Amino acid sequence: MAAQIIDGNALAKQVRAEVVGRVEALKARGVQPHLAIVLVGEDPASQVYVKHKVNDSEQTGLKATLERYPATLAEAQLLERIHALNADPTVHGILVQLPLPKHMDSHKVIEAISPAKDVDGFHVSSAGALMVGQPGFWPCTPHGCLKMLESIGYDLKGRNAVVIGRSNIVGKPMAMMLLAKDATVTICHSRTKDLASFTRNADVVVAAVGKRNVLTADMVKPGAVVIDVGMNRNDEGKLCGDVDFAGVSQVAGWITPVPGGVGPMTRAMLLVNTIDAAERATR
């Protein structure tokens, strides 16, 4: 039996429609929600991603300002620019596109963003708030994954959830969100021994490694929900995830595709965070 597909494009469209309503309510009381995007350098993938984010914003009525700087920009100048955006009351969200050029300390740059405008949810304060269950911005990718689980009416309570990958941007916050929903959470990673012994016991698997075929059909419990966060290129240069989609979709109950899965939801949750930021700042 083939798995049902969780359509990230369709769900992102729904989320954007909700955003449009909230944008209109903000505008009705004189607030123009505004996302500032900072791009340093000429990384081709980053250029494409940033363009998507600007388009998404404009299509939903948010204002997006893209600031581009050469890769040679001094870190001190970037920090100065972030401080100015922090102080600008017309800017509600700040996103510094990653990766930054090698001469910059990404951690230091992210920590310079005001937590009130940290719509990526990458600041230590945002991570801490998520961990202790306080209000704050949740990172867009794992939050999008959670929305996908909610969209199928999946009750995580008491379920075994396995997260493969322990990054600060996806794996760790994903685990915290699943835990907050009362799942029994296991984080697996590159040093995990016998990954399949964990995934075979999982009701939900989130694959966030950045490597093809990390999860194959033999590793999946029949009927499980499989969320694929991977963004890789195969030998033909085609976008593919961490999951062997053809194989796993024969075993899983639900599966997210790549492209058209987690990616569009990541972008939709950025819009949601920006609206949240604008609402919180102007309440």
Rounded Cα distance, 139 and 122, in Å: 7
Nearest distance from residue 157's CB to ligand GUE, in Å? 29
User: Is 4 part of the annotated catalytic residue set?
Assistant: no
Asked if residue 121 binds ligand GUE (CB under 6 A), the reply is: no
Q: Which residue of the set 120, 203, 242, 244 is catalytic?
A: 120
Nearest distance from residue 159's CB to ligand GUE, in Å? 25
Which residues, 38 to 57, sit near ligand GUE by CB under 6 A?
Answer: 49, 52
Rounded Cα distance, 203 and 201, in Å: 7
User: Is 120 part of the annotated catalytic residue set?
Assistant: yes
Which of 140, 271 has the CB closer to ligand GUE?
A: 140
Structure tokens given for 58: 């404009």
Q: Which residue of the set 97, 147, 172, 276 is catalytic?
A: 97
3-state class of 153 per DSSP? coil
Rounded Cα distance, 136 and 11, in Å: 23
Buried b (16+ CB within 10 A) or exposed e, 119-138: bbbbbebbbebbeeeeebbb
Asked if residue 253 binds ligand GUE (CB under 6 A), the reply is: no
The alpha-helical segments, DSSP class H, found in 124-261 are 124-132, 140-151, 171-180, 195-199, 245-248
Annotated binding site for NADP(+): 165-167
Asked if residue 127 binds ligand GUE (CB under 6 A), the reply is: no
Strands 232-233 vs 239-240: parallel, antiparallel or unpaired: antiparallel
- Residue 163's alpha-carbon distances to 201, 202, 252, in angstroms, are 12, 10, 16
User: Is 27 part of the annotated catalytic residue set?
Assistant: no
Which of 97, 274 has the CB closer to ligand GUE?
A: 97
Asked if residue 140 binds ligand GUE (CB under 6 A), the reply is: yes
Asked if residue 160 binds ligand GUE (CB under 6 A), the reply is: no
Contact with ligand GUE (CB under 6 A) among 36, 82, 258, 277: 258
Active-site residue set: 53, 97, 120
Residues of this chain that interact with ligand GUE (CB under 6 A) are 49, 52, 95-98, 120, 140, 231, 239, 258-260, 263-264, 266-267
